[in-house]
Amino acid sequence: MLGIVSGFGLSYIGKARSAASTDKTTKISGGDSADVKETAGIVDKKTFKDSAEGTIEEGGDKSGEGSFKLIRPGGEDQTAYLTSSTVDLSEYVGKKVRVYGETFSSQHVGWLLDVGYVEVLK
């Protein structure tokens, strides 16, 4: 009986999360011919309060913080280091995007952002 109830509860939570997430695929002109998602992730601006715009590059800080970086105008000290368990950021390398996420404390970089939602800017 407990297994049935917990299974139903997990199923309900999964459906609620998928209803709140978005995953649109759009062909972006320029660049390669691969499909790039226009938006991806979980639309939850209460959790993902922080946002930034820039171009995503592969590779984080040499200390190991972040898997990607967001290159922003104003020089290297404006770079945001990114990580995400929600969005595959490798699909957006070289693209100008707006990311929404939650700032984490960092020992080595100025801004470490856990990305929950991405929008490709045109």
**48-105 pLDDT, tens digit each:** 888 999 999 998 888 788 899 999 998 888 999 999 989 999 999 999 999 999 988 8
Q: What residue spans define the domains of the chain?
A: 2-120
- For 101, the enclosing helix (H) or strand (E) is strand 96-104
pLDDT for res 98: 93
pTM score of the predicted model: 0.67
Distance separating alpha carbons of residues 76 and 73, to the nearest angstrom: 9
CA distance 7 to 30: 45
Give the three-state DSSP class for 5: helix
pLDDT of residue 18: 46
